[in-house]
Structure 1
Amino acid sequence: MTSVNSLVDIAVFGIVGAIMMAALIGLLLVLPGGAREAPPGVRVAFGAASVVLLVALPVLAAANTLSAGSGFWTAFAVASCVVAVVYAVNVAMLPLVARRQAASGDRSALASLRPSLPVLAVGLLVCLTLGLVGASVAALII
């Protein structure tokens, strides 16, 4: 029964994180002038919100998993999967960002926004690292 609870945690926290990350990206895209012409304070606020989202959701998912009686490695797997779902939404939103940048006249943005295999591999390592951080913080809290 623990595996079903873990899958539910991944689905719930992953979907919430994906929706929140898509909303952040969408808000950044609709700013007048795009992200490049946004004031530095706005860019810092969006970056801070993204970091908080990428740390808080795995911690909450891992804490929920640990409180259900699962072990640390199960909590680590759940937290890593939650971050991976949010990461997948970021990768899926890249074509939208590229089209928006191209519409604003920046043609070089199209080439720089296509993820390559090494970039996706580094993203997977980041997901695992954030999952480990989330599970560790949850283990300290619980």
Structure 2
Amino acid sequence: MTSVNSLVDIAVFGIVGAIMMAALIGLLLVVSGSARGASPRVRVAFGAASVVLLVALPTLTAANTLSSGSGFWVAFATATCVVAVVYAVNVAMLPVVARRRAAATGETALASLRPSPPVLAAGLLICLALGLLGAAVAALVV
């Protein structure tokens, strides 16, 4: 029954995280598309909100998994999968953001921006690190 609980945690927290990340990216696009553009403070605020999201969601997922009686490694795997879902949304939104930015600045190189396999692999390593951080914090709290 633990695996079903973990899958539900991944689905719920992953979908919520994906929606929140897409909303943050959308808001940043709206703000940066205004006449003044996004100020450095606004960009820092959006970056901080993204980092909080990428740390809080795996921690909550791992805490939920640990409180259901699962072990640390199950919590780590669940937290890593949640971060991977949010990462997938970021990768999927990258071409949209790049095209929007290219249209605003006139740079044609941005319009064809795509992540390379090494960049995607590095992102997966970051997902593992964030999953481990979330599981470790949850293990300390729970």
Normalising by structure 2, what TM-score?
A: 0.94
**Residue 31 of structure 1, CA deviation:** 1.4
Normalising by structure 1, what TM-score?
A: 0.94
Match of 2:48 in 1: 48
CA deviation string 1:1-46 (max 9, x = no partner):
0000000000000000000000000001111446x94111100100
Match of 2:75 in 1: 75
Distance in 2 between residues matched to 1:19 and 1:27, nearest whole Å: 12
Which aligned pairs between 1:14-93 and structure 2 lie closer than 5 A? 14-33=14-33, 37-93=37-93
Q: CA RMSD in A?
A: 1.4
Match of 2:125 in 1: 125
Distance in 2 between residues matched to 1:73 and 1:61, nearest whole Å: 13
Residue type matched to 1:89 in 2? V
Distance in 2 between residues matched to 1:21 and 1:3, nearest whole Å: 26
Answer yes or no: is the 8 Å Cα contact 1:101–1:107 preserved in 2.
no
Which portions of structure 1, spanning 4 or more consecutive aligned residues, are displaced by more than 4 angstroms? Answer: none
